[in-house]
Structure formats: C-alpha cells, structure tokens
Amino acid sequence: MDGTLISPIRESNESPHLNAVKKNGFNPQGKNPSLIGSTDFEVISSLLSFYSSEESKNVLEKCFKDLDDISLSLYQPNSFSLCQGLPKALIKIKELGWENGILTGNTNIRMFKKLEILKIANYFNEDFMFSCNFNETREDITERAKKILKSAGYSNSFIVGDTPRDISVAKKYDLKVVAVSTGVFSPKELEKFAPSLLIRNLADDLEIFLNFMIGLSSNN
C-alpha cells in the first residue's frame, strides 16, 4: 500500500522537492510532466533535468538528502489524513492471516514521519516497509520488494495503489494489483489500465476487497 493510506489535507505552497533543488542553487522554470506515482528520486531527477548533466550530476545526491530535512520542517500534525476505511481495513487484513506492508516512493524518513503523524506505523510489519533509496525508480523498489518477500517465504503478495503507474509496475512484475480511486484518478481513468480489482475506497468497498483477498488465499 502507498497512496491509499494517506491523503494531504492541504497542499503546501512549498514543494519539498523544489525547495531541496533551490537550496542547491537550481530554480527550474519549465513545466514538469506529471510526476504522480514517481519516487522521490525520480521527482528530484526530473527537476534537475532542466539543466545539463554536467551542471546537475554532482548535486543530485545532495538534493535527495536535503529533501528529508526540508520535508520534516514542513510537515505538521494537520498535514495529512487517513484515507477512507483505515485502520479498520488494516485490522481485517491481519485477521485474514495476511501481513500489511508498504511500498512507497517516499524516502524512509518521509515515510515514517507520515506514519508517525497519523499513528498507524504499528499496523505494518517493519520487515515489509519498502521506501525509496537514492537512485531508485518505482520499478527498482518493486523488484527489490518482490525479491525480499520471496526470500522470506511470501509467494502470495499484491499491490494496492491509486495511480496508473502502480498498476503498470505491478503488472510488469507479475503481481496482482488493486486500484483504489482515493487519489486524483477517477475509477474510469484507472479502469483503462485493467487492474486485478478496482474499488472506490477501503470503506465502501471493504467487503469486495476482503473477498478478493480470500480468493487469492484459496488459489495459492
């Protein structure tokens, strides 16, 4: 799970990614492509793509590290809210014998700070919390997570996401994927990418979601 857990209550006028880049002397003026579903590393890289590789290559890692401090200074107790259906859904998932994990494009520090603010870290197995390291794409994190889960004896896993990128990456690594329309993409937009299951949220469609999980368990 990733964007299906937490929603920003209000968007800050300040982007921590842009601030990290500006802190290091860069001020991108062009229009960025949509970066929804991208990792923190991919966002920073995109912001620096306005400049030549010679100009930006030495500062990329510095910007990535600065992102954590800048984010912590911006996050407030009222910055985020839980998506519909949590934590009830997380409890029900555990009752079915599954482990709750996280696969996020955020850095480890940014991920844990969000979980801390909303007091839901204890619902997840820390061994299965996969965040973004330097130089990692969404594909890299998914591949790493799949290998770790397999080595730990978990052959039955799936992704819950709210973006087309979540769906396409899951399919690339032969993972089932549940699309939830709690983000900026509507059910119709997500449906085009043919997820394994499409639901509105984990409150209204919780039973549908749990029945999907029961089906996966019985087929394993």
Q: Higher pLDDT residue, 58 or 185?
A: 185
Highest mean pLDDT among 12-16, 26-30, 84-88: 84-88
Per-residue pLDDT, averaged over 54-66, amounts to 86
pLDDT at 32: 59
3-state class of 192 per DSSP? coil
Burial of 182 (0-12, 13-18, 19+ CB in 10 A): buried
**What are the tens digits of pLDDT across the range 170-205?**
999 999 999 999 988 999 999 999 999 999 999 999
Q: How confident is the model at residue 35 (pLDDT cuts 50, 70, 90)?
A: confident
pTM of the full structure: 0.93
**What are the tens digits of pLDDT across the range 128-187?**
999 999 999 999 999 999 999 999 999 899 999 999 999 999 999 999 999 999 988 999
Number of domains the chain contains? 1
**Number of CB atoms found within 10 A of residue 91's CB:** 11
pLDDT at 5: 85
Pairing of strands 176-180, 158-161: parallel
The sign of the torsion formed by the CA atoms of 75, 12, 141, 193 equals positive
Q: What CATH number does the domain containing 106 carry?
A: 3.40.50.1000
Domain containing residue 203: 1-220
Q: How confident is the model at residue 13 (pLDDT cuts 50, 70, 90)?
A: low
